[in-house]
A = this chain, B = another copy of it.
Amino acid sequence: MQSDEMPWRWFVEHQTPYTSIIHKVKRIIYSGKTEYQQVDIIETYDLGICLVLDGKVQSSTKDEWIYHETLVHPTLFTHPKPKNVLIIGGGEGATAREVLKHKCVEKAIMIDIDKQVVELSKKYLREICENVFEDPRLELIFTDGRKFVEKTSTTFDIAIIDVTDPLSGGPSYLLYTKEFYEKLYQRLSDDGILATQATSTFYSIDCFLAIYNTLSKVFNIVKAAHVWIPSFASTWGFVIGSKKYDPEELEIEYLEEKIKERKITNLKFYTPKIHKSVFVLPPHIERRLKEENRIIRDEQPIFMPA
């Protein structure tokens, strides 16, 4: 049988209309449509099990921890003692998993629009969300992230935005606008910090730059980070907006101390040295960050290159 030699089911991730990645598929675990998006859970040969939303890999067992640790820890360690954390998106539970590793966190509210994605993750992505949804500190609310932020009166120390890329017609593009960031700013404590995924720094660098510039109009400290995610076939951007503390100023010794203090022993990617290095962007990107002047607005959203 040809199964392993010439696999016939290919998952093709289109980076642009001209560049795509072929992942040959070992097994299709689930495929279906929720109210909000197409969900495929597939097993590949090189990336393990992948959660795919609307044709984009969101998490793979091979490397989701690179993405999620880089999204969460630089921000949570920048805050001296985060107690209340808001997570928007992150349906497969991995962002919550990383947040809850910080023992100082007393309460994490996770907002996801798509209940089915969470249910499917619990069923098929156990390896990723083991024990996460059972943690009593986690509260799960199924609603639109934007609506939640506009209505809530809770104050958070940290907000982590882990939503899908801004696609035209997709469920997430209004979670990247100045109006949204301003609302969120108001819900953060005086030393609050926001971190958002910020798309590819190569294939969609315009999105990345615009997110950075938009956040810089709302927060006084704004920092961009990046890391290579094999599953995304690109270095991936993150932007941190902070009211008081600067993530780049933290010293290696301080971070080592904090890791011990918060009793975190199960990090796979994040280290104090990695903390320092993710903020080092190449000069051609640094330059473009400085020159960028687009501001993403509700009326003028930004979309991924089609």
Which residues from chain A sit less than 8 Å from chain B, CB to CB?
1-3, 5-24, 27-28, 31, 37-38, 40, 44-47, 52, 54-55, 66, 167-170, 202-203, 228, 230, 233-235, 267-269, 271, 273-274, 276-277, 280, 282-284, 306
Contacts and interface: CB of A to CB of B under 8 A. Distances in A.
20 contacts: A1-B38, A1-B54, A1-B170, A6-B55, A8-B11, A8-B13, A8-B52, A9-B10, A9-B11, A9-B31, A10-B11, A12-B22, A19-B21, A19-B23, A21-B22, A28-B31, A228-B234, A230-B234, A233-B233, A274-B282
Given A5-B306, A28-B31, 11 more contacts: A1-B168, A1-B169, A9-B31, A17-B45, A18-B45, A19-B47, A20-B22, A21-B22, A28-B28, A271-B283, A276-B280
A290 to B, nearest CB: 14
Given A12-B8, A28-B31, A284 B306 contact: no
Contacts of A306: 2, 5-6
Contacts of A230: 202, 234
Nearest to A22: B20
A6 B14 contact: yes
Contacts of A169: 1
How many chain copies?
4
A268 B280 contact: no
Given A19-B24, A24-B18, A28-B31, A2 B284 contact: no
Contacts of A28: 28, 31, 40
Contacts of A170: 1
B277 A280 contact: yes
A236 to B, nearest CB: 10
